[in-house]
Amino acid sequence: MEILHLLLSGFATALQPDNLLMAAIGAFVGTLVGALPGLGPTSAIAILLPLTAVLSPTKAIIMLAGIYYGAMYGGSSSAILLGIPGDAAAVATCLDGHPMAKQGRGGPALGIAAVSSFFAGTMGVVALVFFGPMFADQALKFGPPEYFALMLLALTVVIGLGGASISKALAMGFLGYLLSLIGLGTMTNMPRLAFGYAPLWGGLDVISVVIGLFAISEVLNGIEEKKVAISMGNIGSVFPTRNDLRKSAIPTVRGGLLGFFMGLLPGVSAAITTFLAYDLEKKCSKTPERFGQGAIEGVAAPESANNATSSAGFITLFALGIPASPPLAVLLGGLMIYGLTPGPMLFQQNPDFVWAVIASMFIGNIVCLVLNLPLVGLWAKLTQVPFGILAPIILLISIVGTYTIRNDMLDVLVALIFGILGYFLKKFHWPLVPLIICFILGPMLEKSLLQSFAMAFENPFIFFQRPISLSLIVATGVFLIISIILRRRTNSRIASSGLEEI
């Protein structure tokens, strides 16, 4: 009953006109970004993060969360209509969605994608209501050793989201940790890696790093690739037939359940669960030969898994402080900027904020469904916007937004440097997500390690003498193995599809 009371109080906050507007704007912008090939929620959140500095933390995170799950909805547009998956999570949808579009049934494919996404997203938020506080309550027993073990568990995401090469992922994670050391020491307050340059004593601003790596680098890549508008065929009616709904019902439920429970595992992203859901449907089907030829089940299952995984990611983010995907890694940085530390104490210290955001996600899912069904023609036309129009707008917003955080040109310079660095890293297929995750989690890992040694008089076995920390360390090893196996299987599937590895 207490949870329902908290949820109702969250709805009271989320339904306030200004918060309702933020949820609607976030869902709209996210759907727009998801519909544009080459852009994604990570870049969108990075670009808009500094602009939310004028908002309260609740309004800002409601809007940024809306961008995230809105992009999960909109990402199916370019995959289905153009055969161009905006990110790795949309690759599985592309396998049957685009053949449907070629057959003149792009509309029903988009309709089923929207309905499946709505069901799975709502199911995931309902689970967040009940699972989130439970995770947080258990985590209240944590001390420094448990937090250190939890940070190790969080760093398994580096393997899960680090691309095809584990060695590159580890190298980028180490670089991110080194960059996090710039500034005053966590426990000593002495300058580190500042090379005598006083402005660096405050460390690198996370917004500058994020905008450079994910926004400015995207502009540079787009300019080099000379992205242009792409033509597409007839969409057809957006409303699926009764037969389409019947065929899609069970795959939607099955994909949603699989995506949600797999999404609770650190490092298991939507790019992985969508392929698992697609494989599951193909194995369960009596006519598996239809898959790849325009089977509507092949659209419903991965889209359902995609959104369920995204919703499950908020449980681990809010309750444990573990970002399960690149957009959530950027959102983690946003929470830290607003002085909100995700983890066990978030539900206790900021309940009004947490429940308002959760309630807004119910509202945002309805907004996304409304946007995706009637406005599908608009999203289809937006997939043809030339990148030459988008690039200068993105670059201007990025630079202005970076400067306004601390009114310091050094932050702009840092963003430009990381933009160039991100461009070359993407060009040579070095993953960016491990760098940003370790940059954010590095100081927390260091602080909990030093506190653990201090309380144990430098006895390293303290981590194995406490049941919770020992369990988390064992779980870290298990999840590392799972992440490596799933990563290799997913990359093998993507490679067989003729697309770039994640």
Each residue's pLDDT tens digit, 160-200 = 656 667 788 889 889 988 998 888 877 777 888 878 787 88
Whether residue 84 has pLDDT greater than 70: no
Report how far residue 440's alpha carbon sits from residue 157's, in angstroms, rounded to the nearest whole number: 13
Tell me, what's the pLDDT at 377?
A: 64
Q: Does any domain span residue 15? A: yes
What is the amino acid identity at position 158?
Answer: V
What count of other Cβ atoms lies within 10 Å of the Cβ of residue 488? Answer: 12
Q: What's the average model confidence in pLDDT over 116-120?
A: 86
List, in order, residues 6 or more apart from 137 with CB less than 8 Å away: 347
Tell me whether residue 55 is exposed, middle or buried, using C-beta atoms within 10 angstroms of its C-beta: 0 to 12, 13 to 18, 19 or more.
middle
% of the chain residues with pLDDT over 90: 2
Q: How many domains does the chain have?
A: 1
Tell me, what's the pLDDT at 38?
A: 54
Whether residue 256 has pLDDT greater than 70: yes
Tell me, what's the pLDDT at 502?
A: 46
Whether residue 145 has pLDDT greater than 80: yes
Q: Which of 289-293, 304-308, 431-435: highest mean pLDDT? A: 304-308
Residue tagged 């995609």 (tokens): 306
Tell me, what's the pLDDT at 420?
A: 92
Least Cα distance to 41 among 52, 51, 31, 50 occurs for 31
Report how far residue 93's alpha carbon sits from residue 74's, in angstroms, rounded to the nearest whole number: 12
Q: Does any domain span residue 2? A: no
Its pTM stands at 0.68
Report how far residue 443's alpha carbon sits from residue 421's, in angstroms, rounded to the nearest whole number: 22
Q: Does any domain span residue 1? A: no
Place 482 in a pLDDT band, splitting at 50, 70 and 90. confident
Q: What's the average model confidence in pLDDT over 324-351?
A: 79
Place 1 in a pLDDT band, splitting at 50, 70 and 90. low
Q: What's the average model confidence in pLDDT over 48-64?
A: 82
Tell me, what's the pLDDT at 81?
A: 74
Q: What's the average model confidence in pLDDT over 137-148?
A: 74
Its domain, for residue 440, covers: 7-497
Tell me, what's the pLDDT at 230?
A: 45
Q: What's the average model confidence in pLDDT over 212-219?
A: 79
Q: Does any domain span residue 220? A: yes
- Which has more confidence, 64 or 2? 64
Tell me, what's the pLDDT at 424?
A: 92
Q: What's the average model confidence in pLDDT over 60-70?
A: 86
